[in-house]
Structure 1
Amino acid sequence: MKNVPLADVDHVDRAVLPIGTDYPPGHVLDWHEHRRAQFLYGATGVMIVDTAEGTWTVPPERAVLIPAATRHRVHMLGVSTRSLYIEPDAVPWWPVTCTVVDVSALLRELLLVAVGFEIDYGLSGREGAIAALLLHEIAERAPLPFHVGIPASADLARLCRAYLAAPDAGVTNAAWAARTAMSERAFTRRFRSEAGDSPAVWRARARLLAAVPLLRTASVSEVGGRLGYASPAAFTAAFTRTFGLPPSRFAASRQGVGRNRNS
């Protein structure tokens, strides 16, 4: 199924509903939730998924697992998706929070085939076997660390979301503490207790996450400079240390060749 609203087919008696959707550049799916769990794969482009608990950046040709009934928002940056909407009781092993995962060559091809199914595809033949195999393949996926947590407190959450929208290497703990009318020491202690990281570590990770969409249209050197790194080597080292992959894997010069390599 292509470009079919989930609401039109959610009632269908199939554990797995494959839907492919093409989005205009910069499209935002505003806050919403699904009754079903969702496997959201970006065949092209970058997706940024927000929930109350955090932000997940989904690089090209990766996917995010979204739990059922999770309120979320998605920014689509040049994205064509292949989604699976899955009955929760069919995937009791599904993660309880959003999770970015790799996508193998086999899983990618299965997704491309599945979105061509009719709404009431047969369960006993080839199509039913593909739907079942999709769940087995998803269960084997390795999680990727492309996310940051968002503190529960409204004031800290506002600071974090504003920083994610416009990361600035010059921001300091003292500046953030002043905006919350707290001492720097008290602010740092409170932030760490809610976010799990110090403010400086959180900001560094957020800046690196911001690099992923920027790499769609700019070189590693340009992105590193824009994010305040002293050299491309310093940016590459920080990115690789945090995410386990060099930024060159997502750079503009590599887009369009991903289908020739395994994720």
Structure 2
Amino acid sequence: MPHGREISHAGNVERRRLHESRWEWLEQVAGPAVALPTEYPDGYHVPQHRHSRSQLLHALVGVVLVTTRHGRWMVPPDHAMWIPAGTEHAVEMLGDVSMRSVYVMPQAIDGLPDSLRVVGVTDLMHSLIVESEKLPQGGELEGRGGLIMSLLLHEIPNLPERPLGLPFPSDPKLAALCRRFVAAPSPHATIDEWADAAGMSRRSFTRAFHRQTGLSLSTWRQQACLFAALPRLADGEPITRVALDLGYDSVPAFITMFKRMLGTSPRGYMRRAGGSARADVPMLQGPSPIGLKSR
């Protein structure tokens, strides 16, 4: 099985071969769960693939974009992406990424999620993932190793889901409004303005938008602003600049939204990300990807 650092240091053709070798190994290895580390350079793209195990993809460092036919999800530090078995997906690295993945047999335990989702990684789960990669991979583990993997598996259903996928409506007019908002996010968009632009009554608009996205406009708007903010904060832009650029009247209003959506303040998020983003040091703006989930 190729080691993660081999993939990081290889050329593009060699990386592809090493990935295919790893995927073949995953299809043959025994045991309910396998933990593998991988290091990726900035901008690296893992092409579409699938495996018979579900994947808990955790980025210790860097931000990851996961793309499937259902849409796109962003995975910042302190988060993980749950990818059910058999799901075609591609992965893009935003910055140098240190990834830890746990590959889980679908029937390993009862209660495993059956849909794509981004989840928060608790301190307990983080420690379990780090410890699991040190264990022998493949087959049933006993003693301490068996206890670690068993607890890791039982913690997966308890991880809190995070709103880091952004659904788009299927109606072309509503989707066009969403695309315009994504290009220039603002917290001040109103239902009446969007309904007028779509040529719909307020009631018809709210029903159609919620039916096609599963979200209210207010919640959708907050998620879109969060998607625009996270990569900029991770690149070290000051909180004040990000908040004002996104149209917030005050930094406290932005922080309130951020804490409600992610469960921590921007400073807490940056600190837990390893200190790579600093609120007091201006830096050049990095990419601001937006997750698009089609329905």
Aligned to 2:154: 136
1:112-150 deviation line (CA, Å, top 9, x unaligned): 232234444662344333322321233433333333334
Aligned to 2:234: 216
Shift of 1:12: 1.0
Letter in 2 for 1:72: H
Shift of 1:17: 1.4
Matched, 1:57 2:38: no
Task: Output the TM-score relative to the length of structure 1.
Answer: 0.78
Letter in 1 for 2:23: A
Aligned to 1:41: 58
Aligned to 1:81: 99
Q: Which runs of 5+ in 1 are unaligned?
A: 259-263
Question: Which residue of the other structure, out of 193, 196, 209, is the alignment partner of 2:214?
Answer: 196
What SS does structure 1 have at the residue aligned with 2:261?
Answer: helix
Q: Classify 1:9/1:162 alpha carbon distance in 2 versus 1 (closer, same or farther; 3 Å).
A: farther
Confirm or deny: 8 A CA contact 2:40 2:93 kept in the other structure: yes
Aligned to 2:266: 247
1:16-71 deviation line (CA, Å, top 9, x unaligned): 11111111113333443332111111111222334444543333122222222223
Confirm or deny: 8 A CA contact 1:46 1:76 kept in the other structure: yes
1:168-193 deviation line (CA, Å, top 9, x unaligned): 32877767986xxx524355542222
**Kindly, what percent of the aligned residue pairs are identical?**
34
Confirm or deny: 8 A CA contact 1:121 1:127 kept in the other structure: no
What SS does structure 1 have at the residue aligned with 2:131?
Answer: helix
Task: Output the TM-score relative to the length of structure 2.
Answer: 0.71
Shift of 1:155: 3.6
For 1:58 and 1:161, the matched residues in 2 are separated by: 21
Q: Classify 1:116/1:161 alpha carbon distance in 2 versus 1 (closer, same or farther; 3 Å).
A: farther
Shift of 1:163: 5.8
Letter in 2 for 1:228: G
Aligned to 1:98: 116
Tell me how many residue pairs correspond in the alignment: 253
Q: Classify 1:238/1:137 alpha carbon distance in 2 versus 1 (closer, same or farther; 3 Å).
A: closer
Letter in 1 for 2:211: S
Confirm or deny: 8 A CA contact 2:63 2:76 kept in the other structure: yes
What SS does structure 1 have at the residue aligned with 2:36?
Answer: strand
What SS does structure 1 have at the residue aligned with 2:166?
Answer: strand
Confirm or deny: 8 A CA contact 1:57 1:212 kept in the other structure: no
Aligned to 1:225: 244
Matched, 1:115 2:127: no
**More displaced 10-residue stretch of structure 1: 117-126 or 228-237:** 117-126
Confirm or deny: 8 A CA contact 1:164 1:210 kept in the other structure: no
Cα RMSD (Å) of the superposition?
Answer: 3.3
